[in-house]
Every structure is written in structure tokens, then in C-alpha cells.
Amino acid sequence: MKLDEAYDDNNIFAKILRGDLPSFKVYEDAHTLAFMDIMPQSPGHVLVITKTPATNLLTISAEAARAVMDTTHKIAPSIQKAMQAPGFMLAQLNGSEAGQTVPHLHMHIVPRTGGIDIGFHARDVADMDELKAIGEKIAAQIAADLAD
């Protein structure tokens, strides 16, 4: 995918936003949606996607990009707490040459635990029961933290 490629309305995340495909949602607001990555690089890997039809950082408005970072900033501490992870990593890929596989702008939040390597990017599909349970735990922690 080229960086100036037109937005594809039928990409996987556009379908998730329309409700045409399921996801394990952990947070949503007017501008963003956060859900579990189905091929997690570590337990608790969450994606924050924009609700704007934008492919990458070059084609999204600054305002919509800020909304993605605002949500990331808001929910990352709760993900870290829920997963009892001492650290976490953010990643946002632009263009297939950078490894981007879904042409809809998103931020990866990947909990990290010292000494444990992260898994390969977008390779191994998680056990769905396990992913659902982790998603529920993270969603509950986010809701509790936001209620405080």
C-alpha cells in the first residue's frame, strides 16, 4: 500500500467500525474505537483506531490524529494495570514497506514484560475465549479508572 493511496472503505477496520465484523471492544468515544488485536504480539495487545476514514499519518487531520493519541494516553495505563505489565510499547505503521497490513490508521498498545520477547507482527491468531476474557478484564479496568 502506497502512502498516498485512496482510502479503501472495505478494509477490515472500516468493517469493524460499521459493525460488519466483530471485535472485542475495550473502549469507544466519538472519535475513536479501541479493541483487542486478534494476532496479539503480547497478551493485552490493543488497537486504537480513528473513526475518520484515513489510511495513515500523512492523510489524517491533526485533530483526528490527536484523538487517537488522546485515547491511547487515556487507556494505556489501565491496560498496563489490567495486564500487570511493567511496561508497554506503542507502534503506528505507515505504508506496507513499514509493515502496515491494514490501511486504516491505528495505534498499537503492546504490554511488555521484562525478559519476554514480543511475538511476530500479525501472525498467530489468538484463542478467542482467551482474547475475550482479556478484553473483558481490560474493558472493566478502563471503565473503573475512568469512573474514578
Q: Which residues bind ligand AMP (CB under 6 A)?
A: 12, 21, 23, 37-39, 47, 93, 99-102, 121-122
Specify the residue, 20 or 147, whose C-beta has the smaller distance to ligand AMP. Answer: 20
Shortest spacing between CB 46 and ligand AMP, in angstroms: 10
Examine the residue annotation and report whether 106 is marked as an active-site residue of this protein.
yes
Specify the residue, 67 or 131, whose C-beta has the smaller distance to ligand AMP. Answer: 131
Catalytic-role residue among 45, 73, 104, 106: 106
Shortest spacing between CB 32 and ligand AMP, in angstroms: 15
2-9: long-range contacts, CB 8 A cutoff, minimum separation 24: 2/95, 3/55, 3/56, 3/58, 3/59, 3/94, 3/95, 4/58, 4/59, 5/55, 5/103, 7/53, 7/54, 7/55, 7/59, 7/103, 7/104, 8/55, 8/103, 9/53
Active-site amino acid positions? 106
